[in-house]
């Protein structure tokens, strides 16, 4: 069981809490390609469900494109190739035959989708096109891999849109931020939006907005990214439409990418020294019902626990009845470690007097709930837990913010600095502090200052951190 302290050694705590609670199995013989056992996969699928609801409610349609991309099709947008070339896996043989055209495993699906888009889109009536898919993608990472954070087979969610104008694409990006807010609410996670510096944008993009969250050790993790492509891909891939005046124009495109890093952030930010702590919307088990038995009262207590469990299940709550013949204390410990947000204890008094005792994992608080209003009050409690988990995570994030005037003061967390905007100054922050420019925040500065490197006057601020 988890002995490591999260604050003392975050990195080892993270690995051990994942392995002990069976969220992933890293014993698969290809490094960075991990097995999703039932408990971890259930959590990921619950996150996917939230993502689907957010996309679907904004009229994005789910599709599924092939994994393998022919080499010639991949090479049409030259910045894009340059960005991914060193990271792709190549299929060169099938059966005993060498392939005439090599096939690559998608690192992302622009080059699989866009040749088809050029046949799907003919006129302005076909726009906007808004689709997404949830698929496995592959990147040959050379850095050290880490469960859910840096892997070689990525569980990837990618939204792709096409629009008649740049302005329409800009509006889409605003909507993507709404989608992100909806998803983050489900994960009980705060996030920041940073427009990445030029040298750190997505290969082929006009600009990139990173969705970043701060981990407990002060490093930042990009959990999603949104890209404005303008017509950078539509011209080489010939995605043109005829506008109302019969004029042929390239579409403007955006993409929105998310991955299992969301699960990594959930684990890292909400977990504690007792183990995992799942927010109720993505908890594989939201409520565990535990009969607390003393000798001779077995029957009525077990019946009350079974009834409560069945009623909660029927109301749509993910519940587990734990009737194993081991001491209740051991069960409490185990389910806390697995991150179940709410425990329901039912003993002799509860069974006789028709109530249950609910215990919140986050606060330890015990709440008496009358059986008559069981479903309603448990659902309300789960909502309350979500609210407090988001609030707590938001406060931790705020505690990681600081305004910094000198390079030597740059530390863990989010350092806001004045920056002239030059790449040279940006990169020397990296060289001198080991932290780098995440990008420009959404909020603009209303005053002026001096670049933290060259001391020139500037109105620009940037956020500096050490990314995961």
Residues that bind a copy of itself (CB under 8 A): 25, 27-30, 33-38, 41-42, 44-45, 61-68, 70, 73, 85-96, 103, 105, 112, 115-116, 119, 131, 135-136, 138, 140, 142, 153, 155
Nearer to a copy of itself, 138 or 241 (CB): 138
> Is the Cβ of residue 151 or residue 356 nearer to a copy of itself in the bound state?
151
Choose between 112 and 214: whose C-beta lies nearer to a copy of itself. Answer: 112
CA distance 244 to 261: 42
Q: How many C-beta atoms lie closer than 10 Å to residue 340's C-beta?
A: 26
Smallest distance, Å, CB 202 to a copy of itself?
19
Of the pair 162, 464, the CB lying nearest a copy of itself is at 162
CB of residue 37 to a copy of itself, shortest distance in Å: 6
CB-based contact 56:131 (threshold 8 Å): no
Instruction: Identify which of residues 214 and 251 has a Cβ nearer to a copy of itself in the complex.
Output: 251
Calpha distance 114→118 (Å, rounded): 6
Q: How far apart are CA 221 and CA 327, in angstroms?
A: 40
Q: How many CA atoms lie within 13 A of 273 on its CB side?
A: 6
- Residue 140 beta carbon to a copy of itself: minimum distance, rounded to whole angstroms: 4
Which DSSP helix (H) or strand (E) runs through 20? helix 10-20
**Strand residues in 300-455 grouped as ranges (E):** 319-321, 338-339, 342-346, 355-360, 366-370, 401-403, 414-418, 436-441, 449-450
- Contact status, residue 244 vs residue 253, Cβ threshold 8 Å: no
Closer to a copy of itself by Cβ: residue 163 or 219: 163
CB-nearer residue toward a copy of itself: 88 or 420: 88
The whole-angstrom separation of Cα 404 and Cα 421 is 16
CB closer to a copy of itself out of 64 and 363: 64
Q: Work out how close the CB of 60 gets to a copy of itself at its nearest, in angstroms, rounded to a whole number.
A: 9
What span, in angstroms and rounded, lies between the C-alpha atoms of 243 and 377?
55
Q: Could you tell me the smallest distance in angstroms from the CB atom of residue 96 to a copy of itself? A: 7
The conformational region for residue 354 under phi > 0 = left, psi -120 to 50 = alpha, else beta, is left
Least distance to a copy of itself, CB of residue 38, Å? 4
CB of 132 to a copy of itself, least distance (A): 10
Nearer to a copy of itself, 4 or 91 (CB): 91
Smallest distance, a copy of itself to C-beta of residue 373, A: 25
Counting beta carbons within 10 angstroms of the beta carbon of residue 53, is it exposed (0 to 12), middle (13 to 18) or buried (19 or more)?
A: middle
Q: How far is the CB of 195 from a copy of itself (least distance, A)?
A: 29
Which residue's CB is nearer to a copy of itself, number 28 or number 166? 28
Between CA 147 and CA 141 the distance in angstroms is 13
* Nearest-angstrom CA–CA distance, 263 and 249: 40
* Smallest gap from residue 33 Cβ to a copy of itself (A): 4
**Residue 147: other Cβ atoms inside 10 A:** 21
Q: For 143, phi and psi rounded to 5 degrees?
A: -70, 165
Contact 41, 110 (CB under 8 A): no
User: How far apart (Å, rounded) are the C-alpha atoms in residues 235 and 206?
Assistant: 13
């Amino acid at each position: 069981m988890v002995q490591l302290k999260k604050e003392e050694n975050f990195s080892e705590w993270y690995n051990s809490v994942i392995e002990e609670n069976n969220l992933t199995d890293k014993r698969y013989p290809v490094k960075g390609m991990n097995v999703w056992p039932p408990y971890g996969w259930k959590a990921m699928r619950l996150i996917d469900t939230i993502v689907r609801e957010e996309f679907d409610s904004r009229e994005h349609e789910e599709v599924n494109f092939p994994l393998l991309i022919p080499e010639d099709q991949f090479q049409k947008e030259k910045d894009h190739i340059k960005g991914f070339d060193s990271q792709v896996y190549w299929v060169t043989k099938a059966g005993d035959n060498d392939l005439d055209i090599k096939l690559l495993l998608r690192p992302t699906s622009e080059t699989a989708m866009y040749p088809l888009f050029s046949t799907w889109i003919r006129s302005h009536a076909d726009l906007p096109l808004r689709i997404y898919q949830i698929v496995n993608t592959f990147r040959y990472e050379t850095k050290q891999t880490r469960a859910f954070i840096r892997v070689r087979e990525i569980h990837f969610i990618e939204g792709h849109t096409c629009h008649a104008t740049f302005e329409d694409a800009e509006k889409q990006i605003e909507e993507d931020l709404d989608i992100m807010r909806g998803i983050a609410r489900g994960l009980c996670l705060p996030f920041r939006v940073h427009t990445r510096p030029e040298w750190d944008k997505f290969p082929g993009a006009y600009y990139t907005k990173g969705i970043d969250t701060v981990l407990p050790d002060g490093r930042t993790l990009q959990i999603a990214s949104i890209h404005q492509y303008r017509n950078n891909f539509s011209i080489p891939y010939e995605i043109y439409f005829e506008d109302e005046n019969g004029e042929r124009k390239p579409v403007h495109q955006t993409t929105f990418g998310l991955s299992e890093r969301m699960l990594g952030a959930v684990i890292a930010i909400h977990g504690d020294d007792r183990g995992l702590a799942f927010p109720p919307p993505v908890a594989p088990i939201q409520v565990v019902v535990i009969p607390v038995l003393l000798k001779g009262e077995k029957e009525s207590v077990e019946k009350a626990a079974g009834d409560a469990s069945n009623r909660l299940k029927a109301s749509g709550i993910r519940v587990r009845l734990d009737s194993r013949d081991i001491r209740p204390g051991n069960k409490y410990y185990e389910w806390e470690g697995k991150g179940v947000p709410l425990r329901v204890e039912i003993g002799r008094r509860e069974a006789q007097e028709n109530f249950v005792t609910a215990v919140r994992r986050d606060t330890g608080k015990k709440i008496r709930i009358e059986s008559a209003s069981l479903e309603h009050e448990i659902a309300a409690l789960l909502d309350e837990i979500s609210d407090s988990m988001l609030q707590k995570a938001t406060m931790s994030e705020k505690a990681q913010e600081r305004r910094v005037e000198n390079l030597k003061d740059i530390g863990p967390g989010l350092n806001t600095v004045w920056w002239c905007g030059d790449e040279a100054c940006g990169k020397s922050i990296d060289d001198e502090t080991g932290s780098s420019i995440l990008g420009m925040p959404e909020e603009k500065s209303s005053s002026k200052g001096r670049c933290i490197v060259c001391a020139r006057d500037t109105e620009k601020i940037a956020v500096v951190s050490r990314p995961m």
